[in-house]
Amino acid sequence: MTEAAHSPLGPSSAKRWINCPGSVRATVDMVDVPTKYSIQGTAAHAVAQTCNAEKVAASTMIGKIVLVKSETEEFQVECDQEMVDSVQAFLDHVQQLPGLDFSETRVHLDQWVPKAFGTLDRARATDEVVYIRDFKHGEGVQVYVKDDEQTRLYAAGFLHDFGWLYPGLRRFNLGIVQPRLDHYDEVEITVEDLLKWMDEIVVPAYKRTQQRAAPFKAGEWCRFCKIRPTCMVLAGSIFKEVVGEFDTLDAAITHATIVGALPAVNMSNEQVGRALHMLPQVKAWCAAVEGYAMREIQRGHRIGDELTPWKLVEGRSNRVFKDPDKAAQILHGEGVDPYERKLISPAKAEAALGKKRFAVVEDLVYKPPGKPKLAPSSDKRPPLIEHVEFEPLDDE
């Protein structure tokens, strides 16, 4: 499967171009470098599309190879049990929705953004309500649908292309389906509110992208931007948060090198909270810079100055058997069991037995509490520990 064509001003990149108009011109001619996560996501979408078109269960695809083509490379992705479980959960969710099915349907936004388009994963349309569902195979970043630009633009595109078929359409039910995080999120928006948002937010944002000096702004939308590794605006915003106000980024780097990234005093809990909001951006930026530097060195380009250039070296590795089968035979002859065994997961057992036969062990299944994880106040999950304000004690 070739990765779906993307419009520079399409729904999938809407959060970025609406918030950072300058990034459109800056990335227009850049090749998109796929990551293992984007490759896996594209493969999962291809499996979901095949299963829906052929009316088969996702389990029929296990072990099959999905070919994913990017702008410059081809990748072979095996459909494993985890992908099967994720795809089937998405298919089951959509199957429960009412209405006429629209699968992997291209929609257009010319009424508001000339030549912009996108491909929605699934939609179910009734006379009054259209259900838009976006499939997220990834588990690294939990996506919430409230104020989500991507699903709103899919809804607007559906209205643009197919609204004439549904004169009684009153509202859209927008949803994110992220099975690997057991995350199903939905929200409703009226047609009137959607059109107002398009006119007041999207159209002005589009106009800003067409300006020669379109503004740049760093934020969470930088995560998937092509210029993230070398963007001075993003780097400057990160250093500003970490090391404070400086006239130039070079001054900030020098200061951080000399005195360390943090002053020699304890941060307040409020400052720690602000730093936590930056962590996802900082981690993603660091990974992007490292990846960019490695690619440049592999191409023969120098990273760093003439006196202290960076280089690629061989990393640590673990020993392996050159001939696993022969090693297993010898170990078995020496009285050693050469294979490690463990009980399969409930998900794999259910996939092997089917839902009905799985009932024989279902009473033995439970879901243990997840490990504590930091989350902002906007997260819908209840807190494990309630915040308590302590009153200062009197001297007496």
pLDDT of residue 393: 54
Dist. CA 113–CA 14, nearest whole Å: 11
Please determine, for residue 369, whether its predicted confidence score (pLDDT) is greater than 80.
yes
pLDDT band at 263 (very low <50, low <70, confident <90, very high): very low
Q: What is the mean pLDDT of residues 56-60?
A: 90
Q: What is the mean pLDDT of residues 181-191?
A: 93
Please determine, for residue 11, whether its predicted confidence score (pLDDT) is greater than 80.
yes
Least confident segment among 89-98, 361-370, 372-381: 372-381
Taking Cα atoms as reference points, which of 185, 176, 180 lies closest to residue 40? 180
Least confident segment among 34-48, 236-250, 266-280: 236-250
pLDDT of residue 83: 92
pLDDT of residue 174: 97
Residue limits of CATH 3.90.320 in the chain:
11-209
Please determine, for residue 101, whether its predicted confidence score (pLDDT) is greater than 90.
yes
Please determine, for residue 89, whether its predicted confidence score (pLDDT) is greater than 70.
yes
Mean pLDDT of the chain: 84
Q: What is the mean pLDDT of residues 223-233?
A: 84
| CB contact set of 2 (below 8 Å; sequence gap of 6+) | 68, 69
pLDDT of residue 396: 45
- CATH 3.30.429 assigned to 11-209: no
Rounded to 10°, the helix 232-243/249-259 angle is: 40
pLDDT of residue 318: 84
Burial of 168 (0-12, 13-18, 19+ CB in 10 A): exposed
More confident residue, 189 or 251: 189
DSSP E strand stretches across the chain: 65-69, 74-78, 100-108, 117-125, 129-135, 171-178, 183-190
Please determine, for residue 196, whether its predicted confidence score (pLDDT) is greater than 70.
yes
Dist. CA 104–CA 4, nearest whole Å: 10
pLDDT of residue 128: 96
Q: What is the mean pLDDT of residues 122-149?
A: 92
Please determine, for residue 246, whether its predicted confidence score (pLDDT) is greater than 60.
no
pLDDT of residue 29: 80
More confident residue, 135 or 298: 135
SS3 270: helix
pLDDT band at 233 (very low <50, low <70, confident <90, very high): confident
Buried/exposed 363-375: b ≥16 CB within 10 Å, e otherwise: eeeeeeeeeeeee
- Phi, psi (rounded to 5 degrees) for 130: -115, 130
pLDDT of residue 292: 85
pLDDT band at 245 (very low <50, low <70, confident <90, very high): low
Please determine, for residue 180, whether its predicted confidence score (pLDDT) is greater than 60.
yes
Please determine, for residue 4, whether its predicted confidence score (pLDDT) is greater than 60.
no
Taking Cα atoms as reference points, which of 187, 220, 313, 179 lies closest to residue 14? 220
Please determine, for residue 209, whether its predicted confidence score (pLDDT) is greater than 80.
yes
User: Do residues 144 and 102 lie in contact, with contact meaning Cβ atoms separated by under 8 Å?
Assistant: no
